[in-house]
Structure 1
Amino acid sequence: MAPPYFIRNLVPRREKRTEGRPLLEALGSLTWVQWGHFWSGWLAWTCDAIDFFSVSLSVSRLQTQFHKSNPSDITTAITLTLLFRSVGAVIFGIISDRYGRKWPLVVNLILIAVLELGAGFVQTFKQFLALRSLFGITMGGIWGLAASTALENLPVELRGLASGVLQQGYAVGYLLAAVINLTLVPETSSTWRSLFWCAAGLSAFSAFVRVLLPESEVFIRAKEAQRARGETTTNKTRVFLHETGQMLKRHWLLCIYAVLLMTGFNFLSHGSQDLYPTYLKDAKLFSDHNATVATIIGNCGAIAGGAIAGWVSQYIGRRLTIIIFVLLTGAFIPLWILPTSFSALAAGAFCIQFGVQGAWGVIPIQLAEISPPAFRATFPGVAYQLGNMVSSASAQIEATGANNLHTTIRNSAGQLTVVSDYATVQGILIGVVAAFILVVTIVGPENYGSHFEKHKTAFEEGGGSDELEDDMREVGSRPTSVQVDEKRSTSEPV
């Protein structure tokens, strides 16, 4: 008996693999505008991470500032930010798919800079929570817009590697926030506020960089074609709304799958990152300095894992790469939670983030390739942020669990000390989530090597029902990549 479809299709068929130009040749073919689009998307995503992790790195200082004795009170701000991100993903994703990538991203980044700046001036905890909730809305738009800006103008041969590098902009942002927290924050009288102000300045700089670059080439061509046909803005909006409905009617099951996948991935990343400095300080009795240094080391592992996984996925496919790196994550959990020395725990942080963010490095291109092609900003962004919303309580789950579960360790003086058992709580959470991701990934679709840039945009008739050359059907019943390219060559270009 033949193995199930989802097992025998873990490695894409030969004709679905990207067998184009060598990597260096493809890199050499890029124009300055293509480089600019990629790095502007990467920078926006990096700034998003700096802004988000400003709270995670400042939990103890925020407790002191707002007179809160329990870390779970402060993590409420993290939960609210994650809850409201799906709202921003819908708003900015729809605007981007309708009007283009450039100005929606610019406005998004400016709003983030304003709210992050304001968070550095708040005086009460209620003010802080309100600003972080609004911040969640603006923050929710960044990922979908940044990923579409960075990837859709690149040759298909580079998208796997580019996906890994793009996604690890998040780890770079966390690393930069940790460096600022390690060096600048202790030296300023404003302490944690200086971290928020620096994050605001970097977001404003990212908006300025995007202003200097042109609109995405995909949208330029689509708008020129629409003008040539004499279609008005009102008509394009009507078409856009109709095609959005068609997309939801046709791809509702894919939408559910993507949300389930991103729920698992967001639990994996937030569960291993958001309270990691607090875990080291409260459960392992590290100093603020050593906890921050270990966080930096962990993010170095994340950057390496994301880039390597993205590159590997170009050869063995997206799902198989995710599975390999999630298995690595599970294997490294003991090293992440059992040791007590700085060197061993830092090594565990590097290895666990190598696996977690290695799997994450494939996600931007995986979601872009399985998305309805006309909705490459809305679909991935909303799926990502709905997953964030479901996983928004991960930090509070860990904080509450650790407060109710205690263990005894020896401090630096050799005395026995009772501490909150973050290690056990985080180990169980990450293990369960890793198993969930494995199942969802194995049974899910893959559209490896998709030329999604050749499809219609969301304001063109037929965009909502535009077909994907997908791997969701049985082998033999789907067209080969050659057949798809031949079919496209006879259709009207975008």
Structure 2
Amino acid sequence: MRETPGPGAAAAEAVEIRDPSLSAFYRAMTPPERHTFWACFMGWALDGMDFMIYPLVIGTIIALWKVDPGTAGLAATVTLLASALGGWIAGFVADRIGRVLTLQITILWFSFFSLVCAFVQNFEQLLVARALLGLGFGGEWAAGAVLIGETIRAEYRGRAVGSVQSGWAIGWGLAVLAQAILFSALPPESAWRWMFVIGALPALLVFYLRRHVKEPEVSVATRAAAAASGDRPRIWEIFSGRMLGTTILASLAAAGCQGGYYAITTWVPRFLTTERGLSIVSSTGYLAALIVGSFAGYLVGAWLADRLGRRPLFLIFSLGAIAVILAYTQLPLSNSVLWVLGFPLGFFASGYFSGMGAFLTELYPTRLRGSGQGFCYNFGRGIGALFPALVGYLSAQVGLASAIAIFAAIAYGVFFVAAFALPETRGRVLHADA
């Protein structure tokens, strides 16, 4: 097995960030780069819409099928656990057959199973459908993150990948908009099914991918060299030699940042309708503040990822997220103040994701990039997947607000420590592996 250099080996070759403005990357893009950017942006948006549909209908599921909050949270957990496996597999497959083809397959997969969710007849069937959806959901991120990371030049990678990540907030907003419209026009027992029908829309993106998006040259060259030498990447190679420490720390960072995010986003809609006494429709404005803050956080995080570096972004935002979620859930605030606080909550609980895609892309050599990035991010999803269920079960003992705060603070604390221990990768140049 080839000895793979650790991330520090590539640190000597890094480009200078000459123009730190947020929009510089887009002005400098070639047409193929722009096609890839918009394809990945739309993919993230539709991915976010698909995932956020379930947290928005979780209250309806609890009421209609008489399931307890812990069991209802289990469906979100199962989706994320399956996405962890799907992301690792898809990342490995992307190193074998290419980023674009893997992306197309995963989008079709999770779109189909979103449609299946609309026709289930009981909670057990929904659990299975969400698990199968999760396989494609995790795979889409793994393939798309590597694709955009390899396509964009090192000088602009943080801002470009971070701006793509902001598409998640757009998808979240589309899901909330669909909820407001459908639950106003239809009875709850049918409105939630139409939410999942809308979740099948990402399948249309495949037509754009097939027509406009090309495989990154660095990926093509590396796979050609591996095929010629017979030294193809092995799925366990990211745990060998000097890559082991990187894989462990990056996985912990991904687990912390996602555990906190899922603890918040899965249960805040329920927190607003139960502990704050809002209806589904009246809570839309509170979620809108959260989403606008999230979108702003993604864009600011994208800018900071290139301006300050990946690690400073993670450290600042993890501490900010802890402070805001404690205030949001533990202080005796009026609903109007809570609405205002939704903006910084969304800002800090989302903005650090803008640096994660570029950071993981830069930590691994090209031959292992899909496997390494896919495993670490989706291992984080797998661990983070436990948090929605744990919050649901603990809420029976300490209340939902305290359960959210406890698990979010633990998760962001792990994120801070792991990010502090990892190297800075800003401006790192990516090469084809010989």
Q: TM-score when scaled to structure 1?
A: 0.79
Per the alignment, residue 240 of structure 2 pairs with 249
Of 84, 87, 91, 1:86 maps to 84
Per the alignment, residue 307 of structure 2 pairs with 315
Q: Distance in 2 between matches of 1:435 and 1:17?
A: 31
Percent sequence identity over aligned pairs? 24
Which residues in structure 2 correspond to 1:275-294 (within 5 Å)?
275-294=267-286
Q: 1:339: Cα distance to partner?
A: 4.1
Per the alignment, residue 198 of structure 2 pairs with 198
Q: Distance in 2 between matches of 1:48 and 1:209?
A: 16
Q: Distance in 1 between matches of 2:248 and 2:193?
A: 39
Per the alignment, residue 147 of structure 1 pairs with 145
Partners of 1:119 and 1:128 within 8 A in 2: yes
Helix, strand or coil for the counterpart of 1:57?
Answer: helix
Counterpart of 2:259, as a letter, is F
Q: 1:245: Cα distance to partner?
A: 5.3
For the pair 1:351 / 2:328, whether they are aligned, the reply is no
Give unpaired runs (5+ residues) of structure 2.
Answer: 1-10
Per the alignment, residue 183 of structure 1 pairs with 181
Closer, same or farther: CA 248–223 of 1 in aligned 2, 3 Å: closer
- CA deviation digits over 1:398-419, x for unaligned, max 9? 11222122xxxxxxxxxxxxxx
Per the alignment, residue 170 of structure 1 pairs with 168
Q: Distance in 2 between matches of 1:221 and 1:455?
A: 8
Over alpha carbons, which structure has the higher Rg?
Answer: 1
Q: Distance in 2 between matches of 1:246 and 1:87?
A: 17
- CA deviation digits over 1:206-225, x for unaligned, max 9? 22221222322325751896
- CA deviation digits over 1:122-174, x for unaligned, max 9? 11222111111111111110111111222211122221212321222222211
Which residues in structure 2 correspond to 1:258-407 (within 5 Å)?
258-337=250-329, 338-405=331-398
Q: Distance in 2 between matches of 1:349 and 1:369?
A: 32
Which residues in structure 2 correspond to 1:11-160 (within 5 Å)?
18-21=16-19, 23=21, 26-68=25-67, 70-160=68-158
Partners of 1:17 and 1:315 within 8 A in 2: no
| Larger RCO, structures 1/2 (Cα 8 Å, 6+ apart) | 2
Across the aligned residues of Structure 1 and Structure 2, the Cα RMSD in angstroms comes to 2.3
Partners of 1:188 and 1:194 within 8 A in 2: no
Counterpart of 1:61, as a letter, is T
Q: Distance in 1 between matches of 2:233 and 2:363?
A: 21
Structure holding more helix per residue: 2
Q: 1:108: Cα distance to partner?
A: 1.0
Q: Distance in 1 between matches of 2:308 and 2:63?
A: 49
Counterpart of 2:240, as a letter, is K
Per the alignment, residue 432 of structure 2 pairs with 455
Q: Distance in 2 between matches of 1:87 and 1:433?
A: 21
- CA deviation digits over 1:81-120, x for unaligned, max 9? 1111122112211111111111111111111111110110
Of 407, 428, 432, 2:410 maps to 432
- CA deviation digits over 1:188-229, x for unaligned, max 9? 35210111101102x112222212223223257518965xxx
- CA deviation digits over 1:427-447, x for unaligned, max 9? 222223222222221122222
Q: 1:14: Cα distance to partner?
A: 12
Counterpart of 1:188, as a letter, is L
Q: Distance in 2 between matches of 1:436 and 1:26?
A: 32
Q: Distance in 2 between matches of 1:425 and 1:214?
A: 43
Partners of 2:223 and 2:367 within 8 A in 1: no
Closer, same or farther: CA 183–254 of 1 in aligned 2, 3 Å: same
Q: Distance in 2 between matches of 1:16 and 1:103?
A: 30
Partners of 1:369 and 1:447 within 8 A in 2: yes
Closer, same or farther: CA 26–276 of 1 in aligned 2, 3 Å: closer
Closer, same or farther: CA 60–379 of 1 in aligned 2, 3 Å: same
- CA deviation digits over 1:52-86, x for unaligned, max 9? 11111001211233232x22222111111111112
Closer, same or farther: CA 388–313 of 1 in aligned 2, 3 Å: same
The number of aligned residues is 419
Partners of 2:111 and 2:203 within 8 A in 1: yes
Give unpaired runs (5+ residues) of structure 1.
Answer: 1-12, 406-420, 457-461, 463-494
Closer, same or farther: CA 119–437 of 1 in aligned 2, 3 Å: same
Q: Distance in 2 between matches of 1:245 and 1:384?
A: 16
Q: 1:17: Cα distance to partner?
A: 6.3
Partners of 2:86 and 2:136 within 8 A in 1: yes
Counterpart of 2:42, as a letter, is L
Helix, strand or coil for the counterpart of 2:121?
Answer: coil
Closer, same or farther: CA 247–278 of 1 in aligned 2, 3 Å: closer
Helix, strand or coil for the counterpart of 2:51?
Answer: helix
Closer, same or farther: CA 176–248 of 1 in aligned 2, 3 Å: same
